């Protein structure tokens, strides 16, 4: 049997999913650089401006690709010494299987740059102003780490809380918690 190894993995993942154990399938996208099953990628498109993409397959669950892109953007810019991430453009898509409504694949591509303060982005590149916003990198990483199966990296700075309000290009900081973050397509940024 030529494909026996892959078939065994597929059968094991189906049995694991059917067991109700709550564990993710062995074929699900994990938080890692881009691979056959998805992951994240990053590219500096101009000095200090990055395009970060998160792509997830169906077994990873709805929202995983989005969470991965935002977490990786925060991680990337925090490692470069920035306290805040400015999302200046975004584009995403979720693919559902026709008829069943089953989640198949999703991706989110964000264009970001680092900032030292919470000011709203001054040069939103999106056609929808509310799609551009600034958020504290440490707060978003703390919120999204559990969704990605990651342990929190460090305690939040004393001046930041998990319900920190983002500054939006569309006018102020009216969003109060993670569940209220909305992408340009109206979907929640957090699960």
- Domain spans, the chain: 28-180
pLDDT tens digit sequence for 64-73: 889 999 999 9
pLDDT averaged over every residue in the chain:
74
Exposure on the CB side of residue 118, measured as CA atoms within 13 A: 13
pLDDT tens digit sequence for 110-155: 999 999 999 999 999 999 988 999 999 999 999 999 989 888 765 5
Q: If you ran DSSP here, which 8-state letter would residue 63 be given?
A: T
pTM: 0.70
């Amino acid at each position: 049997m030529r494909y026996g190894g892959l078939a065994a993995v597929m059968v094991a993942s189906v049995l694991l999913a059917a067991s109700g154990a709550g564990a993710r399938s062995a074929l699900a996208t994990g938080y890692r650089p881009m691979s056959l099953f998805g992951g994240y990628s990053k590219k500096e498109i101009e000095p200090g401006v990055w395009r970060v993409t998160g792509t997830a397959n169906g077994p990873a669950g709805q929202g995983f690709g989005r969470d991965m892109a935002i977490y990786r953007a925060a991680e990337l810019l925090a490692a470069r010494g920035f306290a805040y991430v400015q999302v200046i453009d975004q584009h995403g898509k979720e693919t559902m299987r026709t008829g069943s409504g089953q989640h198949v694949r999703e991706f989110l591509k964000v264009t970001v740059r680092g900032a030292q303060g919470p000011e709203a982005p001054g040069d939103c590149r999106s056609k929808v102003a509310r799609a551009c916003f600034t958020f504290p990198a440490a707060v978003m990483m703390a919120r999204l780490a559990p969704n990605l199966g990651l342990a929190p990296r460090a305690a939040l700075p004393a001046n930041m809380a998990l319900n920190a309000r983002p500054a939006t290009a569309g006018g102020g900081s009216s969003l109060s918690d993670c569940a209220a973050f909305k992408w340009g397509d109206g979907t929640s940024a957090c699960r």
